[in-house]
Amino acid sequence: MLDYDKAIQLNPSDVMAYINRGNTKAMIGELEEAIADYNIALRMDPNLAGVYNNQGIAKSRLERHDEAIADFDLAISKNPNNPAYYTNRGIAKMLSGRSEEGRLDLLEALKLSKNDEQFRAKVEELLKRLENS
């Protein structure tokens, strides 16, 4: 993480340094700090779908599901063909008690991931869990 701090100190407009530091912070459980870095990166470039997705994951881990869903909505608006964004939004919706909406997102993720059997298997498992709950 010190490398990212140094990169930011040397070049405060290095958007990738903020993203990478945010990802590192998220991995070690420093979720609020990760979200802060993602926010800085998104102010620099509001078209970064993956950063909205990562921020949504961090917020979902903090059980801020409605905020997470808003981030996943933005990720999808920037890149509507990424099945992971629909999956993550679907999970957040299910965790917030919106099971049917979550199921629809998971079905959309399946449609978008026709050629990725491993990803499809994970989404199908989520759908089975939803049906059994």
Q: Is 90 exposed, middle or buried (0-12, 13-18, 19+ CB in 10 A)?
A: buried
DSSP state of 60: H
* Structural domain boundaries, residue 75: 69-133
Query: What CATH number does residue 83 fall under?
Result: 1.25.40.10
Residue 1 lies in a domain: no
Q: How confident is the model at residue 15 (pLDDT cuts 50, 70, 90)?
A: very high
pLDDT at 37 over 80: yes
Tally of domains in the chain? 1
Residue 101 lies in a domain: yes
pLDDT at 1 over 70: no
Instruction: Report pLDDT digits (tens) over 49-58.
Output: 999 999 999 9
Helices (H), the chain: 2-10, 15-27, 31-44, 49-61, 65-78, 83-95, 99-112, 117-132
The pTM for the full model equals 0.93
Residue 19 lies in a domain: no
Q: What pLDDT is attached to residue 82?
A: 98
Residue 111 lies in a domain: yes
- Give the whole-number percent of the chain exceeding pLDDT 90: 87
- Mark 27-63 as b/e (b = at least 16 C-beta within 10 Å): eeebbebbbbbbebbbebeeebbbbbbbbbbbbbeee
CA distance linking residue 90 with residue 24, whole number of Å = 24
Q: What pLDDT is attached to residue 79?
A: 98
- Rounded to the nearest 5°, which phi and psi values hold at 21? -65, -40
